[in-house]
Structure 1
Amino acid sequence: MKLNFIKMALILGLLSCVGPVAIDMYLPALPDIAQDLGAPIEAAQYTLISYFVAFGVCQLFYGPASDMFGRKPPLYFGLVLFTLASIGCALAPSIEALIALRFLQGVGAASVMSIPRAVIRDYYTGTQATRLMTTVMLVISISPMLAPLIGSTLIVPFGWRSVFLLIALLTLASLLLAVTSLPETLHHHHRVPFRLNAMLGAFSTLLRDPVYVGLTSIGGLGIASFFSFLATASFLYTDFYGLTPTEFSLAFALNALGFFISSQFAANLGARFGSVVVVKWATAGFAISSLVMCMVVFWGNDQFLLLVAMLLTCNIFLGLVIPTSMVLSLEEHGPIAGTAAALGGALQMLLGALAIVLTSLVFDGTPLPLTAAIAVCGVSSLIISRLTLRGIAHLVVPY
């Protein structure tokens, strides 16, 4: 693997960690936040929802902005805003203030969701793009592996507010990395001047492309299943199963391990069998494993180790579904890669936020609502993949 390829993967991966770190590192603190600010569990979960809504919607602006001004200026803006909002979260006097500041965090974090995906498309297409995407995801795996553990380590001696101060410091380091090491990948002669009609036209082109919409939905359902887990895991693991914050962090990392290990095989499998085939079979595996998990829990077998093993299996298939579907959705939209990545990311984050709302409404402290939500996502992704990719061996999307 070329040195420049590895360097770009490290840079994009570390930048892309900013958003997940703001989720994963504070998850162990959710019960403490609710208790300290005198808020119910549902209000603490709203800090996740507000973050994801902003995280999703604002990508619609960062994508076109990166097509107009280049990739780096919007990235700088987002990282600065994220840093300031993180400091504000550490000082939040009430749950309402924390919810609002988490929304601002999401506004800033949206920049590191859509722009790195556009940078990947600037460099590569096809299998090479999938390989870079999965390598980036390997770097991102630092977050679910280490962030909850670091967060739980900080919470005990310093309280939950220290988590947001550390997030602010890490974001400043990411900003420095972007300034000094990330090249501008969109040259001036490829930039698109701002025209509202052109932006709306690009959105219209994408939304009328059934393959783009289908692949975006498949990836979004995979993300939604994980967001359902995020919304309930800290309460489920600590209250229902009696885990300590540190034990929760280790269990969370184990669940994420399957995703990131399998994602490293996505490019090789795509090169051998074709990316479309990988998506079809991986969605089938995700649907079957999630249905089995839901039925096992429904029948009363909710042992902790068994649940972790079944979640791990689901995540193994998600590690193939999400990066491959993301790359495929951009494959035929190179001239508007920033806009395509932004719209796809926005739709996926909003689908994830909806999953959090619905799962929170039915969450009763047991594993059944979570496993049911994941099963719905799994079966839906399978149905959409069969409808979208029926008879398609390669992608040809007309403009």
Structure 2
Amino acid sequence: MTDRTTPAATTDASAAAVATHGTANAAGTADAASAARTPGTADGAGGASTGSAEAAAQFRPNARYVLLLGLMCALPAVSTDMYLPSLPDVARDLNTSATAAQLTMTAMLIGGAAGQLVIGPLSDRFGRRKPVLIGVALHIVTSLLCAIAPAIVPLIALRTMQGFFNASATVVAMAIIRDRFVGSDASRLMSRLMLVIGVAPLFAPSLGGLVAGQWGWRAVFVVLGVFGAVLWVVVWRRLPETLTPERRRHGGLRTALSGYRALLSDRHFVALAILPGLGMAVLMSYVVASPFVLREGYGLSATEFSLLFAVNGVGLVAGAQVNAALVRRVAPIRIVRVVLPISLGLTAVLLALALTGWGGLVALLVVLWLILALVNFVPPNASALALTRHGEIAGTAAAVIGSLQAGVAGVVSPLSGLLGGDAVAMASVMVGSALLGLLVLALATPAYRRDGAWSV
């Protein structure tokens, strides 16, 4: 059970991390480019873009600023991935099942989805600094409480709270990028940022395994608390407020609900906000099924599987870098409407290879790598377009997009297993996700209409 559970959980959490990272990348990539090349963007985007342009003209990000935003985006991923190798130990120590131990992972995803929906509007109301400082502080507290959890039920509850609170770091980082960076500055920032946050899911499990091996699984939560404390100090000292008082949304619950109502009544925003989640569904089908497909179906060892997983992770980061460079010259909507059909075609090829066995493992891995390299093209650009439509409530809009991604992570995770957990099941979920994404873009947006606002 341990050998079978750990890789699946590892990849599942890494996918959740990448889902978060993809959304973070979306927040800033070519924000101004999308506004400039997308006539008719609505609902206050023009004013927000102007403010962002003025801020960008006065500020240039240095390496420390990029690192800070990267660490903020990576907090949920680190909190997830460092804990992964400890799952068998948690089940054994707390005298529970592997399934119950894995619920501590699902709980954090659910908490993160809920946290984004709550903290997003709060960041639009009170500014960016207060929510993230409070959220990270409570992350520290819940991490230390997790370290002394006496049973599995309290641990599940605490992990839900931990996901809720550390979602503040991701939401605020996304909103800050939308507040401050536009055009080529945003593209350069995001190309560097992905180098920071792309490292987390590659190395955090190894570090977590080392800590747990030396001092036990409870020590992992102590380390997460220390990491949160360091991040809190750096945010307190180095992160400036980017949402000026005159741009804040005043009011309570009614104001927050009105923001969500405005977002959900915008059909184009909803379609664009769904696309990142569907893009991550392609990734999730791979990460959940890959341990069974590669280790059991093709007989790879744990070491070989880990190496291949890292190579595919490099593809994810490389794809984000190519997109960040490409988006400076090509409108985001053009990238999305070209990449989605290509992704559908590649997933169809993968399904054919899985059904026929043609080319063996090598052919399967090559096509799989190409699919994963394209994963980070759709979420960044679709999210950037969605955020551009509602720049005046960037925190709330970012929360909706991030919550949808986290929700998709929880819904899609079991599908490959329910269909059999083999290569055919994995490829089938990929094809379905890519097809649904293309249909949403074609039917719910004017992306493919010559007379549409996004036809240029």
1:243 paired residue among 277, 280, 301: 301
Task: Find the counterpart in structure 1 of residue 42 from structure 2.
Answer: none
Residue 376 of structure 1: aligned partner: 432
Q: Any conservation in 1 of the 2:289–2:422 contact (CA below 8 Å)?
A: no
Which one is further off, 216-225 or 82-91?
A: 82-91
More relative contact order, 1 or 2 (CA 8 Å, 6+ apart): 2
Matches within 5 A, 1:181-196: 181-196=238-253
Match of 1:145 among 181, 184, 202: 202
Offset of residue 349 of structure 1: 1.3
Which of residues 123, 127, 130 is equivalent to 2:180?
A: 123
Look up the match of 2:341.
Answer: 284
The share of aligned pairs that are identical, in percent, is 32
Alignment counterpart, residue 210 of structure 1, candidates 252, 262, 267: 267
Q: Which moved more, 1:255-264 or 1:40-49?
A: 40-49
> Which residue number in structure 2 is paired with residue 4 of structure 1?
61
Pairing 1:56-67 to 2, within 5 Å after superposition: 56-67=113-124
User: Aligned equivalents of 2:452 and 2:189: distance in 1?
Assistant: 20
Please name the residue that 1:54 is paired with.
111
Q: Alpha carbons of 1:345 and 1:137: their partners in 2 closer, same or farther (altered >3 Å)? A: same
CA distance in 2, matches of 1:155, 1:302: 40
**Structure 1 residues 305 and 44: CA distance shift in structure 2, 3 A:** farther
Deviation track 1:108-156 (CA, whole Å, cap 9, x = no partner) reads 1211221111101111235543443343222101212211222233344
Tell me the amino acid that sits aligned with residue 105 of structure 1: Q
**Following the alignment from structure 2 to structure 1, what is the Cα–Cα distance between the partners of residues 223 and 304?**
21
Question: Who is 1:344 aligned against?
Answer: 401
SS of the residue 1:147 aligns to? helix
Distance 1:346 1:36, change over 3 A: same
Distance across 2 between alignment mates of 1:234 and 1:86: 29
Q: Which structure: larger Rg?
A: 2
User: What residue in structure 2 maps to residue 391 of structure 1?
Assistant: 449
CA distance in 2, matches of 1:320, 1:110: 23
Residue 164 (structure 1) aligned to one of 221, 225, 236: 221
Aligned partners of 1:234, 1:105: CA distance in 2, in Å?
A: 27
Matched pairs, number? 394
Cα offset, 1:57, TM superposition? 1.6
What secondary structure does 2:250 align onto?
coil
SS in 2 for 1:194: coil
Distance 1:243 1:365, change over 3 A: farther
Say if 2:292 and 2:422, in contact at 8 Å, map to a contact too. Answer: no
Q: Distance in 2 between matches of 1:39 and 1:300?
A: 39
What SS class does the counterpart of residue 58 from structure 1 fall into? helix
Farther off after superposition, 379-388 or 105-114: 379-388
Q: Deviations over 1:286-342 (max 9, x none)?
A: 222223223323445796665554432222101212222221211121111111111
Q: Which amino acid in structure 2 is aligned with residue 382 of structure 1? A: L
**What SS is found at the alignment partner of 1:272?**
coil
**1:34 Cα deviation after fit:** 4.0
| 335-344 or 118-127, larger mean C-alpha shift | 118-127
Indicate conservation of the 8 Å contact 2:283/2:375, yes or no: no
**Residues 276 and 401 in structure 2, CA contact (< 8 A), matched pair in contact too:** no
Structure 1: which 5+ runs fail to align?
A: none
Out of 358, 363, 368, the position equivalent to 1:311 is 368
Partner Cα separation in structure 1 for residue 345 and residue 235 of structure 2: 41
Q: Which amino acid aligns with 1:192?
A: R
CA-to-partner distance for each residue in 1:75-134, whole Å, 9 max, x for gaps?
012112222222233333433333222211111121122111110111123554344334
Q: Which moved more, 1:303-312 or 1:182-191?
A: 303-312
For the residues of structure 2 that align with 1:105 and 1:198, how far apart are their CA atoms? 26
Name 1:102's counterpart in structure 2: 159
Q: 1:351 to 1:209 in 2, by over 3 A?
A: same
> Which residue matches 2:389?
332
SS at match of 2:389: coil
Residues 117, 396 of structure 2: 8 Å contact kept: yes
Change (3 A) 1:165 1:367: farther
In the superposition, relative to structure 1, how do residues 328 and 43 fare at CA in structure 2: closer, same or farther (>3 Å)?
A: same
* Preserved CA contact (<8 Å) 2:179 2:242: yes
Q: In the TM superposition, what whole-angstrom CA distance separates every residue of 1:345-396 from its partner, at most 9, and x where no partner exists?
A: 1122112211124445x17554443333233222222222223222279968
The answer (yes or no) to whether the contact 1:68–1:192 under 8 Å persists in 2 is yes
> Is 138-147 or 6-15 further displaced after alignment?
6-15
Paired with 2:427 and 2:237, the residues of 1 have a C-alpha distance of 44
CA contact (8 A) 1:256 1:312 kept: no
TM-align CA RMSD: 2.9
| Matched residue, 1:133 | 190
Does structure 2 conserve the Cα–Cα contact (< 8 Å) formed by 1:149 and 1:249? Answer: no
1:305 and 1:238, CA in 2 relative to 1: closer, same or farther beyond 3 A? same
Q: Distance in 2 between matches of 1:163 and 1:216?
A: 34
Change (3 A) 1:371 1:188: same
Where 1:225 maps in the other structure, the secondary structure is helix
Bigger drift between 323-332 and 95-104 goes to 95-104
Give the conservation status (yes or no) of the 8 Å contact 2:116–2:167: yes
Alpha-carbon separation, structure 1, partners of 2:286 and 2:218: 23
Query: Cα gap change, 1:234/1:101 in structure 2, threshold over 3 Å: closer, same or farther?
Result: farther
TM-score by length of 1: 0.87
